[in-house]
Structure 1
Amino acid sequence: MLQSFFFDSVASQSRRPALWVDERLYSYGEIETRARRVSAGLAAVARTSDARRCLLFGHRSVAAYAGVLGILDAGMAYVPLSPKMPATRIAAIIEQSSAPLMLIDRRCAASLDEVLRLLDERPQIFLLDEDADEPHLPSVAAALPALPAAPYVQHPGTAHDVAYILFTSGSTGAPKGVPITHANADAYVTGQLKLADKVHEARYVQFCELSFDPSVHDMFVCWANGGCLYVPHTVDPVYSAGFIKTHEITHWNSVPSLAGFMQQMRKLTPGAFPGLRVSMFGGEPLPRSLALAWMRAAPNSRVLNMYGPTEATVACTCFEVTAEFLDDPRHTVMPLGWALPGVELLIVDAELEPVAAEQTGELLIGGPQLAGGYLSPDEAGNSRFVAKTYPGRRAQRWYRSSDAARAATQHGIVFQGRLDTQVKIRGNRVELEEVEHVVQACSHAALCAVIPWPFDEVGRATGLVAFVANARVEIALILRACRQRLPVYAVPQRIVAIDSFPLNVNGKIDRMALAGQCARGEVAA
């Protein structure tokens, strides 16, 4: 069970530090006490409802982390919500999850009223226990009941139970849920423990939100190693650089963009982070220039480039960056590398038949980390989970990643781009169709197209531009509506009204032509 990685460490080192958050250090024993209290309270509440899922609306607080462990320990799946999401998206996730219970910390309580106004059916909401001296308690939180006190009863559970549900960008205009079982998560964490040697008094840092799956790595790989998880209150690049030094962080995990911002702020000076031992990057391509700068700044650290969709549990490949690899200037972007333990990879053509060596095709992912499908059985994306056997392969189910790739003899899997309309913006998955749904709905335009633009020097999209066929649209109103309904990273940077769309030979919108207009500076917001 996923929570066992934490509780097994408690048994051997209850007094050692497990979590640093809000300028305070908490021991394994202290977090265990809080988590067991949450678990007992949830068990008492759910005794008559048979609740299997629990929403967690917490943000960088000890209550949020105790909530994760407590929900799991109660035999439920946690469904994380982030206050950085628009209220409409939070409400959509709540409705899709069908979770009857919600735990909320005081920090997120101020956002609760706006969310609840959008719901037809509300879950039962409880305020998570926090320190008594927490300042500025929102009035809405004061009205929420706390979880009832109850005797702790251990819930056995099975490896096939769902551990957590994360929601990713959906092509239909609504987020889609990905249920990950304890078996999926256990396979990932166990593989990670084989990947990197144990570091004495390890200190992991967590920059991402609990709603982003690298958080699973940060928490449970850290606690499985008996380390302490450090949670900064901001991901500001200047603050992050100082945070590494002040807290002597040993394990780093982030999207390359965060390190890129630090590089722009001239924080990656040679030898800046001598205490780092393992540095992991994922979620978007890692360029050679950034890898070089990071290795100089962290000369004692291994640098690992990770890849994997949420549907395959956090990450499924790894490439260890070496000085020898970086010496060749032709290596502009780091490869995806090799499969993690237990993971199987295959590159196939449009008929799902294996391609020849070194040929480009679609990357298939199989193995014990693979989710069983999306939360909704009607989700169109379920067609990307296919049942198929291949000679010499153990996996019988595969996930079609929609990533174009080829297998290189020396460096493993090499990413070649996307096969669909999904892009990554600062490491976050964005379905362009979802953004188009929102733009079209609020602009009432006859046609709408959203393209990634601009790109950085290694071809990573850094923003979006939306084109609408309606010269009378109110651009400010469209942008405002997008900010209300989309995560900040998915909001177009520009809305461009055009008289007519360029079309390709098939009569479809020619997105390459639109990108060409952006490149030539022919569009104006």
Structure 2
Amino acid sequence: MGLATIVARHLSAGGDRPALESGGRTWSYADLDRVTADRAAQLRAAAPEGRVVLAGEHTAEALIWALAVMRAGLIYTPVNANQPGERLREALELAEPALVLCCTDAIAAVLRKEDVAVLTPGELPAGQPGDWPVHEIAYSVFTSGSSGLPKLVNVGHRGIENLCQAQTRAFGIEQGTRVLQFSSLSFDASIAEILVTLYAGGTLVVPAWDGGSWVNAVGTHLSEQGCDVITLPPSVYARLDDDARQGIRTVVFAGEALSEVEYRAAERHSRVLNAYGPTEGTVCFSVAEMTRFTTTVGKPIDGYTPRAFDGTGYHASGRGELVLVGPGVALGYEGREDAVFTLVDGEPAYHTGDEAEVRDGEVFYLGRIDDQIKRLGHRISLTDLEGRLSRLLDSRVAMVLDGASLVLAHTCADFTEAELRTRLREVLPAWEVPDVLVRLDSLPVTESGKADREAVRELARATPAAPDATGPDPEFVRGIVTRLLGEEIDPATSVFDAGASSFTLVQIQVELAARYGEDEVQEAFDQLNYDFTIEGFLAALGGAEPQASPAHEVFAKTSADLAGLNLAPIPSTATEGAITVTGAGGFIGGHVLDRLLGAGREITVVTRSRPERLVERHLARFGRAREDFSGVRFLGYDELSAQDGWGAVVHCGFEVNHVLPLERHLANSVATTRALVRAAQSARRFVFLSAASVGAEFVRFTAEALAAVGDPYSQAKFVAEAYVEQLACPSDLLRVGLVYGHTAADEAFLDEDVFSWLLRLSKRHGVLPRLSGLVPVCDVRDVVTAALTAADATTTEGEKTVLVHRTYDLAALREELGVDDVVEPAQWLTTVTEGGADSRILAALRLWLTEDGWAHPVPAPGRQIISELRQRIGE
């Protein structure tokens, strides 16, 4: 079945079911059937045959025009309308379209200079329905090229229905399934998002977008409304906050290799699939459902066969270049022949350039065999980029990737560095703009006369900051931030306000350290008080006075807010034994909830997760039956006013993140604590699980006391305690040490636990860092007992307790790990960094090691907490 027939048939069969939603408006299948038929007629009147280039992004209107082009039987060819004008004009020169349809006047104004019909929707002529011939090319998508120009992949009709059938089954899409349409229309992933959803009778959802950050718009939508299925590159998923991630039922990773970090983050909230498919293969070649992390990209979908090419032949198993074989392989590149397209056993085949291992029909991705890389979700070839820049600069150039930085070495003397950076941003899309420029009299070469890329890397590392007498290079810093965020931000804007996570901040720090020095950048980051703005960093690196700690300002604002709370006691109307729990999706909160289930108590769970997802995860984690949750009530934080009988409250919900700025904790975990406290005035008792890192002594909440608390996370706990103490009912503060006792089903919670990573890395490298104090630890089972005992207490006054079951000194840790060598923290960090440890974990460890350890020994040799932890994390 051809593309036009698939679109028409499935739109006409959907009736009044919702097909498309965006910005509060809904189109039924019947609506889209009627609208796309009319628009297809208009397109045929404007372009009786050939190719239609569509320039539009991230709107329902652009998506409907995309469907109209497909339905018209013309060659659907989307382009990224946000590219520089010069790149767009290169694309049009290659495509030779019969019509360019621009969804906005601004795009049309850029492209009207070309000798081609450029129209906006309002300029299309009227048309008449007809039985139009269908071109053998169903759609075309631009991808990187080897001649300095983009390549245009022409895809036929034969693999499209296989794609729809396979992804419908694999993704679990059915009538009513809500699929978020994330991908740019210029990516072939958008074709699958659109066609598969409508083929299955689902609902496409396009988030409301104001033209700013698309990723931020998607994150906001996910936090507020969630989705059933979304397809994302792992690097984009990494930029979503936890609220957004919890809104996803099924996440399909595609476009980049999936790392274990992203997999483990995703599997906590969602069903995880890993899909693979180059543009040259009708979007998708294979899909894997991930229940544990491996490098698998699954088995091929219907109609495809994998082959491993080792230079001598095409093998059904083994290691080599992955070759796709089957009718879904593209027809080829527009205007050129290429040896990557061939025949194997009489079927169309495509050499991917990816190294893989094929075992029993399953494909395991190993990496690229050439010089292609992925940046911001786009595949680019360094050779392609070299060719284009060589012509642009009229000089020899070499492109290398050094860590995460893209380096351009060149011999051009016609521009200053600032002029060259400006020129590059004008002609290149953001994902191709180099981070580092190295001007040379001549390029270093190997004995064979080729560019010596390793020498270029060394020269780049030795290149001093840009020749700016006033200090560091603002353009270099801006370039790193722009690439990692995927958008430009105002130099005074916090990266967190622009949608960054704490992991993004670590990536920024690592890349800046490679240019300006690790110690210098660390000192600048320390001055920024765990936040980052471009102008703040530049000032700190340039020797500006350190910023004042936010503690005094936070104390002043918090004190004023506390004074206005006026929390009067309200008699509880709850059933005897009723209890409310927060943080039930977390490590401790999950154990608290599980202890309560089946005890005959009236349970309310306050959560920011979708209740059905929380239940599914709890069933899998604790082996419970669904009926154990019968009678459990779920409330969102925006529904707290609906709770009229609180009983006792056990508040465990607090994000554990030691590298977030205090202000971010205030806006998240402290804000939810405040909301809970305000709503729970009728609670019989309120128990808050705080942190021992706040301090061993319970002192009055003052600006000085807040500033004396070590890290922002612990400061946030101290602020939250101040809110809890405003309650008129008895309130218990339980400060707990590092909590362990993880079961096999709890292992995912250890992936971001700082201390467990210190143990892993110390054992792996045979060396421990010298600690300044003791390590206080607790067993989760005893923490749960203490929390529920406090909740059921009948005293009229609340208790303040520090709960530490055992402390470990350096000698005890050496014995536990079998490690003799002990070095200073800085040397230890250098050792594990060079050993390839995850930089995001290292940032938290760097911070953790600068804090003073616990000062009060608790000897309990019978408690083997670290021994159990070590066995759980293994090597």
Normalising by the smaller structure, the TM-score range is 0.7 to 0.9
Distance apart, 1:408 and its partner CA: 4.2
5+ residue gaps in structure 1? Answer: 130-145, 390-394, 456-462
1:442 alignment partner, one of 387, 392, 417: 392
Distance apart, 1:246 and its partner CA: 2.3
Counterparts of 1:116 and 1:431, CA distance in 2: 30
Could you tell me which residue of structure 2 aligns to residue 283 of structure 1? Answer: 255
The structure-2 alpha-carbon separation of the partners of 1:305 and 1:517, relative to structure 1 and needing over 3 Å to count, comes to: farther
1:233-248 aligned within 5 A: 233=209, 236-248=214-226
Distance apart, 1:440 and its partner CA: 2.0
Deviations 1:272-292, CA, capped at 9 Å, x for gaps: 655533211111111101110
**Is contact 2:250-2:272 (8 Å) kept?**
yes
1:61-76 aligned within 5 A: 61-76=59-74
1:161-240 aligned within 5 A: 161-232=136-207, 233=209, 236-240=214-218
1:515 partnered with 2:457: yes
1:31-46 aligned within 5 A: 31-46=32-47
Counterparts of 2:438 and 2:311, CA distance in 1: 35
Counterparts of 1:111 and 1:245, CA distance in 2: 31
Q: Which has the higher contact order (CA 8 A, sep 6+)?
A: 1
1:384 alignment partner, one of 340, 357, 365: 340
Does the residue aligned with 1:336 lie in a helix, a strand or coil? Answer: strand
Could you tell me which residue of structure 1 aligns to residue 299 of structure 2? Answer: 338
Distance apart, 1:8 and its partner CA: 3.0
Distance apart, 1:304 and its partner CA: 1.0
Counterparts of 1:115 and 1:476, CA distance in 2: 28
Does the residue aligned with 2:238 lie in a helix, a strand or coil? Answer: helix
Counterparts of 2:239 and 2:171, CA distance in 1: 26
Counterpart of 1:219, as a letter, is I
1:52 alignment partner, one of 45, 50, 53: 50
**Is contact 1:169-1:175 (8 Å) kept?**
yes
The structure-2 alpha-carbon separation of the partners of 1:506 and 1:63, relative to structure 1 and needing over 3 Å to count, comes to: same
Counterpart of 1:74, as a letter, is A
Counterparts of 2:329 and 2:198, CA distance in 1: 23
Could you tell me which residue of structure 2 aligns to residue 81 of structure 1? Answer: 79
Could you tell me which residue of structure 2 aligns to residue 478 of structure 1? Answer: 420
Distance apart, 1:350 and its partner CA: 2.2
Indicate the structure (1 or 2) with the bigger Cα radius of gyration. Answer: 2
Counterparts of 1:443 and 1:97, CA distance in 2: 26
Distance apart, 1:162 and its partner CA: 1.3
Counterparts of 1:177 and 1:514, CA distance in 2: 32
**Is contact 2:3-2:71 (8 Å) kept?**
no
Counterparts of 2:138 and 2:18, CA distance in 1: 25
Distance apart, 1:150 and its partner CA: 2.9
**Is contact 1:237-1:259 (8 Å) kept?**
no
Return the TM-score normalized by structure 2.
0.50
Counterparts of 2:248 and 2:4, CA distance in 1: 26
Counterparts of 2:458 and 2:29, CA distance in 1: 55
Distance apart, 1:319 and its partner CA: 2.0
Could you tell me which residue of structure 1 aligns to residue 502 of structure 2? Answer: none
Does the residue aligned with 1:280 lie in a helix, a strand or coil? Answer: strand
1:416 partnered with 2:359: no
The structure-2 alpha-carbon separation of the partners of 1:506 and 1:408, relative to structure 1 and needing over 3 Å to count, comes to: farther
Deviations 1:223-249, CA, capped at 9 Å, x for gaps: 111112122326555543331132331
Counterparts of 1:515 and 1:350, CA distance in 2: 30
Counterpart of 1:442, as a letter, is L
The structure-2 alpha-carbon separation of the partners of 1:273 and 1:474, relative to structure 1 and needing over 3 Å to count, comes to: closer
Could you tell me which residue of structure 1 aligns to residue 347 of structure 2? Answer: 396
- Number of residue pairs aligned between Structure 1 and Structure 2: 462
Could you tell me which residue of structure 2 aligns to residue 147 of structure 1? Answer: 124
Counterparts of 2:185 and 2:284, CA distance in 1: 16
1:307 alignment partner, one of 251, 276, 292: 276
**Is contact 1:171-1:432 (8 Å) kept?**
no
**Is contact 2:325-2:344 (8 Å) kept?**
no
Counterparts of 2:413 and 2:50, CA distance in 1: 50
The structure-2 alpha-carbon separation of the partners of 1:428 and 1:273, relative to structure 1 and needing over 3 Å to count, comes to: closer
Larger displacement relative to structure 2 (339-348 or 226-235): 226-235
5+ residue gaps in structure 2? Answer: 467-875
Counterparts of 1:472 and 1:274, CA distance in 2: 52
**Is contact 1:284-1:426 (8 Å) kept?**
no
1:125 partnered with 2:125: no
Distance apart, 1:176 and its partner CA: 1.0
2:379 alignment partner, one of 391, 405, 429: 429
Does the residue aligned with 1:464 lie in a helix, a strand or coil? Answer: strand
More helix by share: 2
Counterpart of 1:90, as a letter, is L
1:260 partnered with 2:238: yes
1:315-330 aligned within 5 A: 315-322=284-291, 325-326=292-293
Could you tell me which residue of structure 2 aligns to residue 24 of structure 1? Answer: 25
Could you tell me which residue of structure 2 aligns to residue 406 of structure 1? Answer: 357
Distance apart, 1:200 and its partner CA: 4.6
Runs (4+) of structure 1 moved beyond 6 Å?
none
Counterpart of 1:289, as a letter, is V
The structure-2 alpha-carbon separation of the partners of 1:15 and 1:268, relative to structure 1 and needing over 3 Å to count, comes to: same
Does the residue aligned with 1:60 lie in a helix, a strand or coil? Answer: coil
The structure-2 alpha-carbon separation of the partners of 1:347 and 1:180, relative to structure 1 and needing over 3 Å to count, comes to: same
Counterparts of 1:464 and 1:22, CA distance in 2: 38
Larger displacement relative to structure 2 (188-197 or 160-169): 188-197
Counterpart of 2:170, as a letter, is L
Counterpart of 2:373, as a letter, is V
Does the residue aligned with 2:363 lie in a helix, a strand or coil? Answer: strand
**Is contact 2:173-2:197 (8 Å) kept?**
no
**Is contact 1:207-1:235 (8 Å) kept?**
no
Could you tell me which residue of structure 1 aligns to residue 431 of structure 2? Answer: 489
Deviations 1:429-482, CA, capped at 9 Å, x for gaps: 10212321232233332x211112333xxxxxxx52111134664223332332
Does the residue aligned with 1:383 lie in a helix, a strand or coil? Answer: coil
Work out the percentage of aligned pairs sharing the same amino acid.
Answer: 28
Distance apart, 1:194 and its partner CA: 3.1
1:8 partnered with 2:25: no
Counterparts of 2:258 and 2:19, CA distance in 1: 30
Does the residue aligned with 1:8 lie in a helix, a strand or coil? Answer: helix
Does the residue aligned with 1:250 lie in a helix, a strand or coil? Answer: strand
Deviations 1:486-523, CA, capped at 9 Å, x for gaps: 221111122111344333342211223333555x5556
Counterparts of 1:150 and 1:361, CA distance in 2: 52
Could you tell me which residue of structure 2 aligns to residue 143 of structure 1? Answer: none
**Is contact 1:55-1:101 (8 Å) kept?**
yes
Pairwise CA RMSD: 2.5
Deviations 1:171-230, CA, capped at 9 Å, x for gaps: 111011111122232232222223233345211112221111100111011111111212
Counterparts of 1:248 and 1:65, CA distance in 2: 20
**Is contact 1:443-1:478 (8 Å) kept?**
no
Counterparts of 1:29 and 1:313, CA distance in 2: 27
**Is contact 2:11-2:32 (8 Å) kept?**
no
The structure-2 alpha-carbon separation of the partners of 1:61 and 1:275, relative to structure 1 and needing over 3 Å to count, comes to: closer
Deviations 1:31-79, CA, capped at 9 Å, x for gaps: 2222111111122334xxx422112122233332222222222221111
Deviations 1:330-381, CA, capped at 9 Å, x for gaps: x5xx3222212211111111234539x54x321111111101111113x5xx
Counterparts of 1:206 and 1:399, CA distance in 2: 28
